[in-house]
Amino acid sequence: MTDRLVLVINCGSSSLKFALRSESEQKPLLSGLAERLGTADGVMNWKAGDIREHVAITDGKHSTAMASLLPLIERFAHRPLTAVGHRVVHGGEHFTGASLIDDEVLAAIEDSAPLAPLHNPAQLTGISEARQVFTDIPHIAIFDTAFHQSMPPHAYRYALPEALYSQHGVRRYGFHGTSHRFVSTQASLLMGLEPGHGAWLTAHLGNGCSTCAVLDGKSLDTSMGMTPLEGLVMGTRSGDVDPNLHSHLARTLGWDLERIDNMLNRESGLLGLSEGLSNDMRTLVAARAEGHAGASLAVEVFCYRLARSLAGLAVALPRIDGVIFTGGIGENSPLVRELTVRHLALFGLAIDPAANATPPGNPARQIQAGNSPAILVIPTDEERQITEECLALLDLAATQPVEQEA
């Protein structure tokens, strides 16, 4: 069988991220990011092996950025694409896995748009542009929420009037599903368990952060909720706050919903706690070492709340085969891992300091001490997961009998 190729696309309102992945190779053949779309300064930076170049997207159109992918793919792929995989943030309750895009799937993505107003409309644009450029091959949607559709009602329901759930979809959905699925699958390989098996607590810590309890390849609970604001402290997002905060700020300061929304999503988290110093964990770790009180507090709150979330999610599992750290912070910050695990001594978890120090290349590894349950650092690779899910869907479709017309 030929080494199949998938183009992975993640379309934002002003950006288009892409990666060309082959079935057999660990690294992308080509990857890049078009930014500042919607302005006259649109630009697409890309790299393939050692080659790095950029293309101006002067009309700022998503369609122009998408069309400029075609010659690049011809140059580096040397064979036809098998499929295009589209990352879509919100699939509501419609999707439990990868889905071949057709009119029904497009309508369902649109139906979920009120739950992700910043993401789903942009991703629909990306799908439509891509279908015009890459014709005659399957386009497949992969949803951040799909992995968490296995959560039981006691984990996904809010204690709110029932009609808000049944008529308006108000429930916990969870996000970062592609990453939680990828690292928990890798963990079973790393620990020599049956593929896809094991009871894991995963922590995806990047600009957005979430935890997940995974049992034998199924998400049983996760820290994010109806939107990606719930749960952990993040770069600029508050995570959990008292739900009465909204009415308190409206009554006492006269803030309107937009202002509160903006504050919770863009001015809070590490940025807010560090007195506006930074949303970047690297800057905060360096400032903490120099005695910056705000940076110190931000790091402490981040790690404590993360540990509290992991401890809470443990109740979803029958045992703990391992705790997994991933994402930019999870993979690269020994300090965050150390401070977090210190709060989890109750579970017998302890870190080996030498193993915790970040080696060059940051490969997947175990960092627990002595008799501690496994603590794993596993670099995430969402594009690889998307590629694998696309190809698995095509393989499944190829083995299913064609439906006979009545």
- Quick one: which of 128, 139, 108, 107 has its CA closest to 7? 139
Q: How many Å apart are CA 375 and CA 325, to the nearest integer?
A: 8
- H or E element at residue 166: helix 162-168
Q: Give every CB contact of residue 12 below 8 A, 6+ residues apart in sequence.
A: 119, 122
Is residue 31 close enough to count as binding ligand AMP by CB under 6 A?
Answer: no
327 binds ligand AMP (CB under 6 A): yes
For ligand AMP, the closer of residues 230 and 321 by Cβ is 230
Applying CB under 6 A, the site for ligand AMP has a residue count of: 12
Find out whether 66 is annotated in a ligand binding site. Answer: no
Cα first-last separation, the chain:
35
DSSP state of 68: T
Select the residue interacting with ligand AMP from 5, 122, 329, 378 (CB under 6 A): 329
273 contacts ligand AMP (rule: CB under 6 A) = no
Choose which of 44, 105, 285, 391 interacts with ligand AMP (CB under 6 A). 285
**Nearer of residues 14 and 150 to ligand AMP, judged by Cβ:** 14
Binding of ligand AMP at residue 281 (CB under 6 A)? Answer: yes
208 in a known ligand binding site: yes
| Stretch of 5-13, 125-133, 184-192, 278-286 lying at the interface with ligand AMP (CB under 6 A) | 278-286
For residues 192 to 231, the per-residue mask of contacts with ligand AMP, x marking binding by CB under 6 A and - elsewhere, is: --------------xx------------------------
Dist CA 280 CA 294 (whole Å): 13
Whose structure tokens read 């008292």?
Answer: 242
Burial of residue 61, with CB atoms counted within 10 A of its CB: 0-12 exposed, 13-18 middle, 19 or more buried = middle
Q: Which residue is nearest to ligand AMP (CB)?
A: 328
Residue 328 marked in a binding site: yes
How many angstroms separate the CA atoms of 313 and 303, rounded? Answer: 15
| Residue 262 marked in a binding site | no
Q: Catalytic residue at 144?
A: yes
In terms of CB distance, is 68 or 385 closer to ligand AMP?
385
Say whether residue 89 binds ligand AMP (CB under 6 A): no
Q: Which two tokens stand for residue 390?
A: 């696309």
Tell me how crowded residue 70 is: count the other CB atoms within 10 A of its CB.
Answer: 11
- Residue 140 pairs in a beta bridge with 85, 100
Q: In the sheet that 374-377 helps form, which strands lie side by side, from edge to edge?
A: 218-222, 209-215, 199-205, 322-326, 374-377, 365-366
Out of 3, 50, 144, 395, the active site residue is 144
Which residues bind to ligand AMP, rule: CB under 6 A? Answer: 206-207, 235, 280-282, 285, 327-329, 332-333
Q: Which residues are annotated as a binding site for substrate?
A: 87
Q: Which residues are annotated as a binding site for ATP?
A: 17, 204-208, 280-282, 328-332
Q: Which residues are annotated as a binding site for Mg(2+)?
A: 10, 382
Catalytic residues: 144
